[in-house]
Chains A and B, each alone.
Chain A
Amino acid sequence: MLLPRFEYHEPTTLEDALNLLHELGGNARVLAGGTDLLVKMKRKLEKPSHVISVARVPGMDQIIPRNGHAVTIGAGVTAAELARNELVMDRFTPLAIAAGKLGAPPIRNRASIGGNLANARPAADFPPPCMVLNATLKLKSAKGERDIPVNDFFRGPGETVIEPNELLVSLHIETPPPWSGGSYIKLGARKAMEISMVNVAAMITLQSADGPIVDVRIALGAVAPTPVRALAAEDLLVGAIPSEELFRKAGEIGVGMCSPITDHRGTMEYRCMMIEVLTKRCLTEALARAKAWKP
């Protein structure tokens, strides 16, 4: 499969990258790991006349801890890097788990978190973890910058709020409070090189190891045109003492928040059943981690 012709740009400063985007705008596409963009270009689904690689823009590939209170993750950080980063595994667990389930090692070594978010596929691995972690995305252009909560970022399949002259440069995530834990479950027909049939991320914060739930977030992927938060299920859980029965009910409510389709990966009915089961299972895993929280 051959790539169409295009002009290649490789800016070495953020300023140059933003100026190029400002100049070329809609005629250009941003290239990070290339595991989505180059596939779409080979399939002739995209034919940009300019490709701007951000691989050599300093800082894009860094994970920067902020004094224990937060972390800033460059949009170019690869899935492989996130999967093996101890801070991410320890405090931002759903993100690390999802990173380790994306594609397979050669894909994970190239695919970036920014690319995965900006591509906005409904079944993508990174959106649900970012949603339950309340990530804020930094978009920059030659004219300025804005911070977008990830929950306001997705508009539809393949569509986000990013303007053609904007670049997603980083994610900012506050460290979850004490007694927090999270998980991510991806359901597919196989363990590698798979696109999710359903995926679920959950974060739970307890008052204490045996206390009630003070905060909880659940996000579901591949079940609607964009990844969705199961807000009604979260409402049920806040203030309650966690139990299997409560998590089962949350799963039931979660199904109501979704509008899955039938396709070659699975039927609508099967997806609905799996949303219920996996929501419960993901909450159970998140709870176990919250109880085992260590300073």
Chain B
Amino acid sequence: MKTLIQLTVNGEPVEAAVDANRTLLQFLREDLELTGAKHGCGLGDCGACTVILDGKPVNSCLVLAVQANGRSVLTIEGLAENGKLHPIQQAFVDKGAIQCGFCTPGMILSAKALLDTNTKPTEIEIRTAISGNLCRCTGYQKIVQAIQDAAEAMTGKEGS
């Protein structure tokens, strides 16, 4: 039996009928064709499926689509505005913090959730914020630097 759900995805209202055993990740990727969130381990270990649910990063492979009813989801597709990359995305590009790119959407969303609540994070706070996101290209150093750069760029923008 399908359940009717209504939620907000990247600012847009979405209504759909979903099976109870459909994960939010499956719903995003297969029903809405938002393939930015990746299916990695499927068990909440790798963080490739990270999306922001009501302001908090979560593993969308461990959230049921029905649980997202009435809630607000932000995926990597919702970050750029009018074709202009979000400062965190731009910093990842500038710093070479992307290699294969599989972990990148999750990394960037974890970083966004951090910078939304902490505009001047320490290196340890950054490393903790992305501790649920695995990068197998071993690119953590550049990722941390990119987030530091993004934090500076974002606070600089607010100040001006």
* A interface with B by C-beta (< 8 Å): 1-8, 10, 31, 34-35, 38-39, 42-43, 51, 53, 55, 80, 103-107, 109-110, 191-193
User: Most chain-A CB neighbours within 10 Å: which of B1, B23, B59, B129?
Assistant: B59
Partner of B47, one of A2, A39, A106, A191: A106
Residue of A nearest to B41 (CB): A1
Interface presence of B121 (CB below 8 A): no
A110 lies within 8 A of B23 (CB): no
What string of 1s and 0s marks CB contacts (under 8 Å) between B46-62 and chain A?
A: 01001001001111011
Chain B residues bordering chain A, tally (CB within 8 A): 32
Give A38 Cβ to nearest chain B Cβ, in Å.
5
B42 lies within 8 A of A42 (CB): yes
Q: Which 9 A-B pairs have the closest CB atoms?
A: A104-B132, A192-B131, A8-B20, A1-B42, A3-B21, A109-B56, A104-B131, A106-B132, A106-B59
Give A110 Cβ to nearest chain B Cβ, in Å.
6
Q: Which residues of B contact A110 (CB under 8 A)?
A: 58-59, 62-63
Given A8-B3, A39-B43, A39-B62, residue A107 in contact with residue B132 (CB < 8 A): yes
Given A53-B67, A106-B58, A107-B132, residue A35 in contact with residue B20 (CB < 8 A): no
Partner of B50, one of A38, A43, A55, A106: A106
- With A39-B62, A51-B20 known, 18 other A-B pairs at CB within 8 A are A1-B61, A4-B21, A5-B20, A7-B1, A8-B20, A31-B67, A34-B62, A34-B64, A38-B23, A55-B67, A103-B132, A105-B110, A106-B44, A106-B110, A107-B59, A109-B56, A109-B57, A192-B131
**What separation, in Å, do the CA atoms of A34 and B67 have in the docked complex?**
10
A42 lies within 8 A of B43 (CB): yes
A192 lies within 8 A of B132 (CB): yes
Q: Which residues of B contact A10 (CB under 8 A)?
A: 66, 69
Interface presence of B113 (CB below 8 A): yes
Q: Which residues of B contact A39 (CB under 8 A)?
A: 43-44, 62
Q: Which residues of A contact B44 (CB under 8 A)?
A: 35, 39, 103, 106-107
Interface presence of B15 (CB below 8 A): no
* B interface with A by C-beta (< 8 Å): 1, 3, 19-23, 42-45, 47, 50, 53, 56-59, 61-64, 66-67, 69, 110, 113, 128-129, 131-133
A8 lies within 8 A of B132 (CB): no
Given A8-B3, A34-B64, A39-B43, residue A105 in contact with residue B113 (CB < 8 A): yes
Residue of B nearest to A55 (CB): B67
Q: Which residues of B contact A5 (CB under 8 A)?
A: 19-21
**What separation, in Å, do the CA atoms of A49 and B61 have in the docked complex?**
20
Give B65 Cβ to nearest chain A Cβ, in Å.
10
Given A80-B56, A105-B57, residue A6 in contact with residue B132 (CB < 8 A): no
Residue of B nearest to A191 (CB): B131
Q: Which residues of B contact A192 (CB under 8 A)?
A: 128, 131-132
**What separation, in Å, do the CA atoms of A156 and B141 have in the docked complex?**
42
B63 lies within 8 A of A34 (CB): yes
Give A264 Cβ to nearest chain B Cβ, in Å.
15
A106 lies within 8 A of B21 (CB): no
Partner of A104, one of B21, B42, B47, B64: B47
**What separation, in Å, do the CA atoms of A193 and B23 have in the docked complex?**
21
**What separation, in Å, do the CA atoms of A106 and B113 have in the docked complex?**
10
Q: Which residues of B contact A42 (CB under 8 A)?
A: 42-43
Q: Which residues of B contact A8 (CB under 8 A)?
A: 3, 20, 64, 66
Partner of A193, one of B21, B50, B132: B132
B64 lies within 8 A of A38 (CB): yes
Q: Which residues of B contact A105 (CB under 8 A)?
A: 57, 110, 113, 128-129, 131-132
